[in-house]
Structure 1
Amino acid sequence: MADPQVQLNELAEECLVRLGADLGAAPGSGGSGVWIAPGIVLTCAHVVPAGVGSAIQVAWSGRALTGTVTDQLPGGPSDGGLWPFPDLAVVAVADAPDHPCVRLSEAVPVDRARLVAFGHSATLDEGLRPTAVEGRMSGWHAFGDGRMWQFKENELVEGMSGGPVLDLASGMVCAVTATSLGVGDRGGYLVPVSALRRLGPDRWRAVMNAHDRFHAGHRRWTELQGGHGPFPGVPLRAAEEAELLGFLAELPPPDHAALLRLYTASCEHNRPPAKPLKAYRDVALALMDVTGPDRALPLLRMVHQLAGPRADPGLRDWVTGFAARLGRTRELKDWRSGAARAAVPRGGVVSVQIMPGWAKVDRYQLTVRVRGEPGKTGLLYCDEEPRHTLGEAKKIACEKIREALCWLQGNALVEFIVPFDLFDEPFDELVATKPYTNIGRKYRVVLRDYDRLIDPSVHHDWQRRWKRLRETDSGTRWIICTEDLSAEEFSAELEGRPDVTVIALTRRPSSSGSYGDMLRVALDSGVPVAIWRRDTCPEHDAGDVPEETCSGRRFRTAFGDKLQKTPIRDLPETVRLLRNRAVARDRNPADHDCRGTVLLWDDPEQSAQLLAPVVEPRYDDTRGS
Structure 2
Amino acid sequence: MADAHTDLDALVREATVRFLPADPADPRMWGSGFLVAPGWVLTCAHVLLPHLREDTGREFRVAGSPAYYGIDPVPARLERWLVKDPWSEEVPAAQDLALVRLVPDGGVEHRCVWLSDQAVLPVGERRVHGFRPGDDPEQPYEMWTGHIADNVSDGRCSIRFTPMAEFPPGVSGGPVLDPVSGAVVAVTKFGRYGKDGGGAVPVAALRAFGTLYREVMAEHDLWHARHADGYGSWLHHQELLLGQEPGNADLWSPADQVTSLRLLARLGDPPPPGAVERLAQRVRNDRAPLAYPPPTAWRDGHGLLYGPHGRPFPAIAFLHYLRLVSLLVTDMGGKDTTTGAVAELDAWITARTRRVTPFQHHLVTEARLPDLARPRTGRATVGDAKLPERVVLPYPVAGERASVVVVEIEPLPYRNLHWQIRIDDGSGDDEIFDSEKDPDGVEHARLLERLRRPLDEAFQMADAANGHPAACEVVLPAGDFDTPVHRWQLAEMARLGDEAHLPLGVRRRVVLRDLARRGRTDEAWTRRWDAVASAGRLSAVRTPPGGQSPRRRHFTDMAACDIPVLCRPAGRGAGRRAMDMALETGHGIALWHIEGHARSAACAGDCDTFHAGAAALLGETAAAHELPDRLRRIREEIHEGRDQAHWAEGVAVLYDDPGRPVPAGPLGLWSSPA
Structure 1 length as normaliser, TM-score?
0.54
Contact 2:120–2:291 under 8 Å retained in 1: no
CA distance in 1, matches of 2:99, 2:269: 21
Alignment match, 1:131: 144
Q: Does residue 365 of the first structure (1) align with residue 469 of the second (2)?
A: no
Alignment match, 2:226: 217
Residue 18 of structure 2 aligns to a residue in which SS? strand
Which range is displaced more, 36-45 or 262-271?
262-271
Contact 1:16–1:118 under 8 Å retained in 2: yes
Alignment match, 1:612: none
CA distance in 1, matches of 2:221, 2:128: 23
Q: Which amino acid aligns with 1:177?
A: T
**1:41-70: CA deviation from partner (whole Å, max 9, x where unpaired):** 111223323153221111125412111111
Q: CA deviation at 1:27?
A: 3.7
**1:309-340: CA deviation from partner (whole Å, max 9, x where unpaired):** 743544234323442343147625x865xx66
Q: Does residue 353 of the first structure (1) align with residue 398 of the second (2)?
A: yes
**1:483-539: CA deviation from partner (whole Å, max 9, x where unpaired):** xxxxxxxxxxxxxxxxxxxxxxxxxxxxxxxxxxxxxxxxxxxxxxxxxx989xxxx
Contact 2:17–2:34 under 8 Å retained in 1: yes
Q: CA deviation at 1:130?
A: 0.8
Alignment match, 1:52: 56
Alignment match, 2:74: 65
Q: CA deviation at 1:198?
A: 2.4
Q: Which amino acid aligns with 2:356?
A: L
Q: Does residue 196 of the first structure (1) align with residue 203 of the second (2)?
A: no
Contact 1:196–1:204 under 8 Å retained in 2: yes
Alignment match, 2:257: 241
CA distance in 1, matches of 2:423, 2:126: 41
Alignment match, 2:605: none
Once superposed, what is the RMSD of the aligned Cα atoms?
5.1
Q: Which amino acid aligns with 1:52?
A: T
CA distance in 2, matches of 1:84, 1:290: 24
Q: Does residue 434 of the first structure (1) align with residue 451 of the second (2)?
A: no
Q: Does residue 110 of the first structure (1) align with residue 122 of the second (2)?
A: yes
Q: Does residue 173 of the first structure (1) align with residue 184 of the second (2)?
A: yes
Q: CA deviation at 1:187?
A: 2.8
Contact 1:262–1:302 under 8 Å retained in 2: yes
Q: Which amino acid aligns with 1:284?
A: H
Q: Unaligned regions of 5+ residues in structure 1, if any?
A: 369-379, 402-419, 443-532, 536-599, 601-625
Alignment match, 1:40: 40
Q: Which amino acid aligns with 1:175?
A: A
Alignment match, 2:549: none
Q: CA deviation at 1:5?
A: 1.2
**Counterpart mapping for 1:416-435 below 5 A:** 425=526, 426-428=528-530, 429-430=532-533, 433-435=537-539
Residues 362, 177 of structure 1: alpha-carbon distance in 2 compared, 3 angstrom cutoff: closer
Contact 1:138–1:152 under 8 Å retained in 2: no
Q: 1:251 aligns with which of 245, 249, 267?
A: 267
**Counterpart mapping for 1:406-425 below 5 A:** 425=526
Residues 24, 35 of structure 1: alpha-carbon distance in 2 compared, 3 angstrom cutoff: same
Residue 33 of structure 2 aligns to a residue in which SS? strand
Contact 1:46–1:83 under 8 Å retained in 2: no
Q: Unaligned regions of 5+ residues in structure 2, if any?
A: 67-71, 331-336, 377-393, 409-419, 428-462, 477-485, 487-503, 510-518, 542-558, 562-584, 588-657, 659-674
CA distance in 2, matches of 1:255, 1:131: 39
Q: 1:300 aligns with which of 295, 319, 325?
A: 319
Alignment match, 2:633: none
Q: CA deviation at 1:242?
A: 2.0
Q: CA deviation at 1:164?
A: 0.4
Q: CA deviation at 1:76?
A: 5.4
Residue 68 of structure 1 aligns to a residue in which SS? strand
CA distance in 2, matches of 1:293, 1:246: 18
CA distance in 2, matches of 1:216, 1:367: 43
Q: Which amino acid aligns with 1:281?
A: R
Alignment match, 1:477: none
CA distance in 2, matches of 1:391, 1:289: 43
Q: CA deviation at 1:147?
A: 3.2
Contact 2:306–2:312 under 8 Å retained in 1: no
Structure 2 length as normaliser, TM-score?
0.50
CA distance in 2, matches of 1:282, 1:82: 26
Q: Does residue 87 of the first structure (1) align with residue 96 of the second (2)?
A: yes
Q: CA deviation at 1:168?
A: 1.6
**Counterpart mapping for 1:415-564 below 5 A:** 425=526, 426-428=528-530, 429-430=532-533, 433-436=537-540
CA distance in 2, matches of 1:317, 1:256: 23
Residue 303 of structure 2 aligns to a residue in which SS? helix
Q: CA deviation at 1:284?
A: 2.7
CA distance in 1, matches of 2:206, 2:367: 38
Q: Does residue 282 of the first structure (1) align with residue 300 of the second (2)?
A: yes
Contact 1:137–1:152 under 8 Å retained in 2: no
Q: Does residue 16 of the first structure (1) align with residue 16 of the second (2)?
A: yes
Alignment match, 1:375: none
Residue 122 of structure 1 aligns to a residue in which SS? strand
Q: Which amino acid aligns with 1:326?
A: V
CA distance in 2, matches of 1:109, 1:97: 32
Alignment match, 1:31: 31
Q: Which amino acid aligns with 2:254?
A: A
Q: Which one has a bigger Cα radius of gyration?
A: 1
Q: 1:160 aligns with which of 163, 171, 175?
A: 171
Contact 1:288–1:295 under 8 Å retained in 2: no
Residues 244, 267 of structure 1: alpha-carbon distance in 2 compared, 3 angstrom cutoff: same
CA distance in 2, matches of 1:243, 1:23: 42
Alignment match, 1:327: 357
Q: CA deviation at 1:92?
A: 0.9
CA distance in 1, matches of 2:319, 2:263: 14
CA distance in 2, matches of 1:34, 1:300: 32
Q: 2:241 aligns with which of 228, 233, 240?
A: 228
Q: CA deviation at 1:249?
A: 1.0
Contact 1:364–1:389 under 8 Å retained in 2: no
CA distance in 2, matches of 1:274, 1:255: 16
Residue 158 of structure 2 aligns to a residue in which SS? strand
Q: Which amino acid aligns with 2:287?
A: N
CA distance in 1, matches of 2:128, 2:23: 22
**1:175-228: CA deviation from partner (whole Å, max 9, x where unpaired):** 11122216x7683221221222222x2111111111111122222112211101
Alignment match, 1:6: 6
Residue 7 of structure 2 aligns to a residue in which SS? helix
CA distance in 2, matches of 1:293, 1:317: 22
Residues 433, 98 of structure 1: alpha-carbon distance in 2 compared, 3 angstrom cutoff: farther
Residue 397 of structure 2 aligns to a residue in which SS? strand
**1:372-417: CA deviation from partner (whole Å, max 9, x where unpaired):** xxxxxxxx9965999964879xx99xx999xxxxxxxxxxxxxxxx
Residue 128 of structure 1 aligns to a residue in which SS? strand
Q: CA deviation at 1:34?
A: 0.4
CA distance in 1, matches of 2:359, 2:22: 58
Contact 2:17–2:35 under 8 Å retained in 1: yes
Q: 1:100 aligns with which of 106, 111, 132?
A: 111
Q: State the identity as a percent.
A: 26
Q: CA deviation at 1:256?
A: 2.5
CA distance in 2, matches of 1:293, 1:131: 31
CA distance in 2, matches of 1:218, 1:305: 28
Residues 329, 322 of structure 1: alpha-carbon distance in 2 compared, 3 angstrom cutoff: farther
Alignment match, 1:147: 158
